[in-house]
Amino acid sequence: MGVVETNQFHRGLKIEYEGEIWEIIEYRHSKVAQRSAVMKTKIRNVATGAVQEKNFRSGDSFKVPDVERKNMQFLYKDDIGFHFMDLDSYEQYSLSPEQVGEDSSFLKEQQEVTVLYYNNDPMGIELPTAVELEITETEPGVKGDTVTGGTKPATLESGAVIQVPLFIDKGDQIRVDTRTGEYLDRVKKK
């Protein structure tokens, strides 16, 4: 079990806090005059899905839980939750929406993900840094829109809505950063 300090926080990091496993959703460094620096965070309880805002002093350290990682394929989502298949044993497992969390907005069927286990219980997933998704709905591009222009909202095949450049059209394949939810680039058509 490793240890991490507040200056090593990043989105998706799992830490032990008050005897439970929490995931860092958002974080930012804050310093008020004549006071010690503070790390303002939004954290999600991996077991319950509860989200809290917490402030930690700069230099606070936390245990990083020993997590087992298994490569799995996302099969489908239904009323029960999200269903995955172990790529080695072909066994199927279900995770609740609370366990999957905000990562569900970038999941598509047949996608490979890493399922995280703590004490032999699934506790969440880890997506690749970037995923390729198709635009299912957006305003049409207009001739003259340039790469350096503004942005517009677009709905992805996974259901997520992100901001994309004006030249992106419905049906385009794009690459999205799963850590920030930002558009990276358009995938060349084959």
State the pLDDT at residue 45: 83
Q: What is the pTM of this model?
A: 0.71
Give the end-to-end CA distance of the chain in Å, rounded to a whole number: 45
Identify whether the C-beta of residue 93 lies closer than 8 Å to the C-beta of residue 81: no
pLDDT tens for 92-117 read 999 988 888 788 889 989 999 999 88
pLDDT tens for 152-187 read 999 999 889 999 988 888 999 999 998 788 899 998
User: What is the arrangement of strands in the sheet containing 68-77, beginning at the earlier edge strand?
Assistant: 92-95, 82-86, 68-77, 112-118, 121-126
Tokens representing 69 are 């990682």
Residue 147, pLDDT above cutoff 60: no
pLDDT tens for 34-75 read 777 888 999 988 777 788 999 998 888 999 888 888 999 999
Residue owning tokens 């010690």 = 36
- Which sign does the torsion angle of CA 140, 141, 147, 151 carry? negative
Instruction: Give, as one character, the DSSP assignment of residue 148.
Output: T
State the pLDDT at residue 2: 85
What are the backbone angles phi and psi of residue 75, rounded to the nearest 5°? Answer: -95, -60
| Distance between CA atoms of residues 158 and 185, nearest Å | 17
